[in-house]
Amino acid sequence: MYGATRRACSSSGRGRSLLMLTTALLLSVIGLLTGLPGITEAKECDKPCMNGQCNTATGNCVCFPGWVGDQCQHCGGRFRLTGPSGHLTDGPGNYKYKTKCTWLIEGQPNTILRLRFNHFATECSWDHLYVYDGDSIYAPLLAAFSGLIVPERYGNETVPEVVSQSGYALLHFFSDAAYNLTGFNISYRVNTCPNNCSGRGECRVMNSTGAAYCDCEDNWKGAACDVPYCLAECGYPDRGRCQGKTCICKTGWQGGRALQRHHFTTIFTFSQPTALNGQSTQTPSYNQRRRHYVDRNRNRTPSKSPILDSVHPWLGRLLLK
């Protein structure tokens, strides 16, 4: 009897211990799962990261090199650009106060690098962008910009392209603490045609040298296809048209730009009465009187239509003065 009772108590104790162990293991697993921050504490950034990535552990933006701000929306460091084309900007919206940003564009040695200002607006005389023809501030200074530059279209820029002959360009932007504006957006291309051929031609590359040149459309010439063969497009469509690299004017228009009207002046001429043997001749007959059209150059064109007899003889002399 004693032995049976002992075995029963021992079996009950082992079951209780196993239950407690299982419970402890379950609690441990639950604790581990609840302690994983990536599953239970994932956070999204309140605002989109414009030049960076969102850290879901903290809910903050982690900016790419050169960018600062809660949304990585402001330039604030150094940038290195190595592509054959691209753009650089201070960021969306207004730039920061007390900003210093530097861009190094690395093309290829002895190639042409062209910068085009798509937009530029800084505090005049205080916030500046410096452009150097090289990879440091000790390279030749190409230009310093401050103020407003708003081009309308290709071929009509307020400021022409900035051209680096070394294949490199260093741009440094500085702003003070007083005032800020929308900043700038600048595009660049390596070994390309000037001003994108002004939208009036195709950019081609010479096989022998690799240099780029503009193959201009009809009626345009120049390195950037920005010089018309026909000035003012010959006043097309009202006054004329450009054909064969010259103006074909409509009736009533003349000149290289078809801007001048034909101005005719009517001049009457008469055969003056003369005395023959003391006798006065008669007034010129109807067929003797003619009129002339005189243009701006005083070139006379006789008219085929005679004037009326009612015109007085002295009128011709008056008009010829």
Tens-digit pLDDT profile for residues 19-33:
676 776 776 656 555
Residue 315: band (very low, low, confident or very high) from pLDDT cuts 50, 70, 90: very low
pLDDT at 169 > cutoff 70:
yes
> Does some domain include residue 300?
yes
CA 268 to chain centre: 59
Do 217 and 254 share a structural domain?
A: no
d(CA 289, CA 236): 41
DSSP-assigned states of every residue in 20-48: HHHHHHHHHHHHHHHT-HHHHS----SS-
| Residue 53 included in any domain | no
91 phi and psi, to 5 degrees? 120, 170
pLDDT value of residue 291: 45
Helix (H) or strand (E) holding 8: helix 2-34
Considering the domain boundaries, does residue 42 fall inside one? no
Mark whether 87 and 100 lie in a shared domain: yes
| Residue-range definition of the domain harbouring residue 222 | 193-226
The lowest-confidence range among 61-65, 139-143, 177-181 is 177-181
- Are residue 78 and residue 176 in the same domain, yes or no? yes
Identify whether residues 154 and 83 lie together within a single domain: yes
For 93-127, the pLDDT digits (tens) are 999 999 999 999 998 887 899 999 989 999 999 99
CATH at 208: 2.10.25
- CA dist., res. 314 & res. 269, Å (int): 9
Choose among 48, 75, 53, 108: nearest CA to 186. Answer: 75
Average pLDDT taken over every residue of the chain: 77
pLDDT in tens, 39-75: 446 788 999 999 999 999 999 999 999 999 999 999 9
Residue of higher predicted confidence among 53 and 303: 53
Residue 8 domain-assigned? no
Q: What is the pTM of this model?
A: 0.60
- For position 269, what pLDDT does the model report? 45
Number of domains in the chain: 4
For residue 223, what are its two tokens? 């390195």
Q: Which of 192, 217, 250 represents a domain boundary (last residue)? A: 192
Residues 139, 133 contacting (CB under 8 angstroms)? yes
SS3 assignment, position 265? strand
Based on the fold, state whether residues 90 and 172 are members of the same structural domain: yes
Q: Cα 127 vs. chain centroid, distance in angstroms?
A: 21
Facing residues of 242 across strands? 247
| 171 and 271 assigned to the same domain | no
